[in-house]
Amino acid sequence: MKILIIGAVAAGTSAAAKARRNTEDAQITVYEKDSYISYSGCGMPYFLGGHVESIDALAPRDPQFFKSKYNVDIKTRHEVLEIDATAKTLKIKNLDNGEIFTDSFDKLIIATGAKSVIPTIKTAGGTAGANAFALRNINDLIKIAAFIDEHKPKSALIVGTGYIGLEMCENLTERGIEVSMVEKLPQVCPSLDEDMARLVQKRLEAHGVRVSTGVEVELADADLVILATGVRPEVSLAQNAGIAIGATGAIAVNAKMQTNHPDIYACGDCIEQFNSVTGRAIYRPLGSTANKTGRIAGDSATGGDLEFRGVLGTGIFQIFGLSVAQTGLSEREAREQGFEVAVCHNIKPGKPEYMGGTEMVIKAIAQKSDDAKLDGRLLGVQIVGEDGVDKRIDVFVTAMSFGAKALDLEHLDLAYAPPFSTTKDPVMYTGMILENSLHRGRELITSAELKTRIEAGEKLQIIDARVAAQFEKDHIGGAENVPLERLRDAADALDRDITTVTYCNKGVSGNAAQNVLINKGVKKVYNLSGGRKSFN
């Protein structure tokens, strides 16, 4: 059997290795138009920041490695020009000598990845491109590194504030370059909800980064310009061969990574995935998924039975000491997709403050539904904090992968000792807060909802449960200050029939105040999710 693979980075090489592990009877050849293979694209910003010693450390494997370890032939600088799906052949060009030849396959695996979206932006010198770079592969990295070494730029403008833009921001700043960022959407890091993105923007500004949102750049006036404006799946070969493309513009595959042609598979950044919570098509080009889907493609092409279970769209990045992670749907996406949701903001330290714990903000979204099977199901989580974020997001991901509901979280038997966590871990608290809001009459109101209701002129009784000094410093317009310790006595004087909102700084005393008022007979009491800190 002859297996041909197009593309030799994360997905293509995973597919080749898995195919070989399954069988010694296949001849496996990978065509790659670039000269670098199997590299860590994810590590590239860290090379620029001086955290990675050499480019070789990012690309430690060469074709000889794959030949000797897996008996796989990787032909670099070979571009596939055409797939003939009927004849089951590829037309290939050797980029070193210009020779064009044909090769045939029994099974083909397309792992052509993605390419950068390049906006049309003029740079200061009028020479678009001379100091403007996208970062997609090692060749791009080499060009940026050489430019920095030669021109010693003092300023950089990063266009786009997604994960890669933000990682570049941190690493260029560490090189002593003054960074500005521009984002055409109204917030940084567009995959987050606006309230969580604000925390990222604050951190950027605290480190001297100038951030402009809601701005389309036409002229980039900086010594160095980084275009981090997203990627698009590389599907032209597949499309020209009649292979079906999905709604997101990436190659459509089934759970076995098979395209609409039974002997052609696809994997990695060129394919469309599905969201494992909603079942809907999404496009999340990530190295983690490219490795997973590559392995499945290699398995399927050699008769294996592995099947893809979809993705939650989990991602994480670091920016100036802040870890930012998300999984599943944001509140915005959940509402856009028609879900009725309960939302909570849980602000807690990852370990006791006496052990140096620092606060993280966990925003979690659960489904409200009349269908008992769906009611309380977790839809998404975003976390921003200095430490312990990676561990919590992975606990949420694991729970959500098995269909967890809010109530399930407080029952998790998580590891606890002071150096690692709090007696009730922030994940467990998140479940308790959501469950109390969903089913125990301790409803939450988000800042956005409260603002809308205030602006609509709704008659609300807003109780600031903090001490007088905090209230005097700043409070929500129209709020009345009744510190928690006075609330029991003062409650009888309050109107029981008006919708009431309690709040404190972060939500905990607000919840205590909510409990007091509910137990004293106030009919409808919300606690402000995330407290005064979340209300802007």
**Beta carbons of 415 and 447 less than 8 angstroms apart:** no
| 155 or 291: CB nearest ligand FAD | 291
- 169 flagged as catalytic: no
Tokens of 425: 């871990």
Residues 6 or more apart from 88 whose CB is under 8 A from it?
104, 105, 106, 108, 263
Residues 6 or more apart from 412 whose CB is under 8 A from it?
395, 399, 425, 427, 428, 431
Catalytic residue among 42, 189, 267, 504: 42
Query: Least CB distance from residue 311 to ligand FAD, whole Å?
Result: 11
| 135 or 342: CB nearest ligand FAD | 135
| 109 or 157: CB nearest ligand FAD | 109
Query: Least CB distance from residue 139 to ligand FAD, whole Å?
Result: 9
Given the rule CB under 6 A, which residues bind ligand FAD?
Answer: 6-7, 9-12, 31-34, 41-42, 44-45, 79-80, 111-114, 135-136, 164, 234, 237, 268-269, 285-288, 290
Q: What are phi and psi of 145, to 5 degrees?
A: -60, -40
CA distance 265 to 271: 10
Number of residue whose CB is nearest ligand FAD: 113
Query: Least CB distance from residue 93 to ligand FAD, whole Å?
Result: 9
Query: Least CB distance from residue 515 to ligand FAD, whole Å?
Result: 42
Query: Least CB distance from residue 114 to ligand FAD, whole Å?
Result: 5
Place of tokens 């944001």: 330
Amino acid sitting at position 302: T
Cα-based distances in Å from 236 to 103, 110, 322, 333: 19, 11, 38, 29
| 40 or 481: CB nearest ligand FAD | 40
Q: Say what the alpha-carbon torsion angle 512, 515, 517, 519 is, to the nearest 10 degrees.
A: -140
CA distance 285 to 272: 9
| 44 or 252: CB nearest ligand FAD | 44
Query: Least CB distance from residue 163 to ligand FAD, whole Å?
Result: 6
N- to C-terminal Cα distance for the chain?
63
**Beta carbons of 196 and 529 less than 8 angstroms apart:** no
Could you give the angle at which helices 287-301 and 10-22 cross, rounded to 10 degrees?
30
| 8 or 344: CB nearest ligand FAD | 8
Alpha helices in 37-108 (DSSP H): 44-48, 55-58, 63-70
Residues belonging to the active site:
42
